[in-house]
Chain A
């Protein structure tokens, strides 16, 4: 029940929003709902620690298992481990920041917040699901609200982007679906099939089945996580979306993919994961490097961040593909870190855009002088992106490098080195972007009268920065949170190898 609240609360809030009148009520209700959620997520963290401290070593805590579609052995099975918990925390952070950033959303505000809350419900549900059906349900649940958010409130070629995003993500989930089917029909518990993640993980799935369905599932989830070459929805989608949606999209939505790659594809099909690991590494390395170089040439701030997301999410997949415990932990860390960082980035870009009405770096300039707070937020996000120690990005990337390097194969090493090289390129594009848009003289004299961030924006940025710094300065707490989960995964992956 504790966990179900994470689905119920956003839904209730969303419903409550529908009955509100006027922007003020709507945003108050949304903020209240998300704040409660925020507090709850910390409560959950506390409960989790308490449970672990009392010596509970079970893989998943707070499990709940209720039959849903009994004839098909579909259950509403939820539970969390450290990985899911960190994702839930991430979601809570990003959602509350998203609501705050959208504080002055005038047009169709009710619908806007409604969709935002539905999205968050989808994300929460996804992260707590232990049944593949439920997981898939929530995965798809989170697609259409994005389409609407981008299409209705977006900017630029919003309809094209929204459509592209929705279709590509749905194509991804279509592949995931086939993968899930393969998993389902290759399990047999007393003659019955199962969607239960825990049950499947105890099952020995034949190598041929794994080799067939792993790529489907992995690519499917990979599309969500911007796997090269299926990343093209990312730049368009992110850049057209309204600020809160961009934050959500890059901050959480892309994590759905990474989480799925890890929890479903890799965990349940370990032998295939080994088999395909070179391909994954190849693709993710390409994504890292190529995304970084492509970012360098972008002129629109949102495109810059979107392409950099491709590059950064490449790290997640790289970490997963390397299949060492450290690298997988790094991948999870990177998901959390990138989620917070990119949300912050988009929030800052949104704040800038709402004031200057342009996102082109050439047209901006000197903003640090007129809107110092927002610019500082932007710089912090940028620094996190380029892996400054003390901020979360560094911790995550270094963990991935460290973990990847443990793989003694020459080619894996090469991939690691190439991935490391991207930190230089990242520095180049981040500094170019900041240099052009925030520093230098003010090009447009109208910018002299811009107002700096309001309390809501300050609070949103503050929340996200707190998260980033908390991880960056003291990564160990998150690390200890994640490690038991990754241990189970790596044991499973390792076991599969020895059996072969």
Chain B
């Protein structure tokens, strides 16, 4: 067994375990920390797959931005250490059933599907390539989405300011 295979399994187990804990932990702060672990695990998985840039972005935005934001908001709205209310029993039951079924179903479909592996091709993601393509207008250029996203960020920033101005005027600029 290859080392990378083992690493993959470990990473997978880590990600899934942390995610499970994140959605089940009774204390919100713990939950946030487990989310952090999940995100870091995912970043690691990206790293494992050879897309270091994405992994980096993942760490910066998710870990550095979103989770921090979430934690801030937890502090704002919650007394730490307090246990969260239990989920409603009926809903958990139905959710679990539906989701288990959904998972089995989806994975069954994926499993059945014969993905055609192309001839070995070097999958080499250079950061410089990404940078060029991001701002290129030619083929494989992503300047238009880039601009759209920038407008989106601007708009959401304005939105956040409008909504939450009175409480915390700073939270729009997390990026």
Given a CB threshold of 8 Å, the question of whether A touches B is answered with no
Chain B residues in the interface with A (C-beta under 8 A): none
Chain A residues in the interface with B (C-beta under 8 A): none
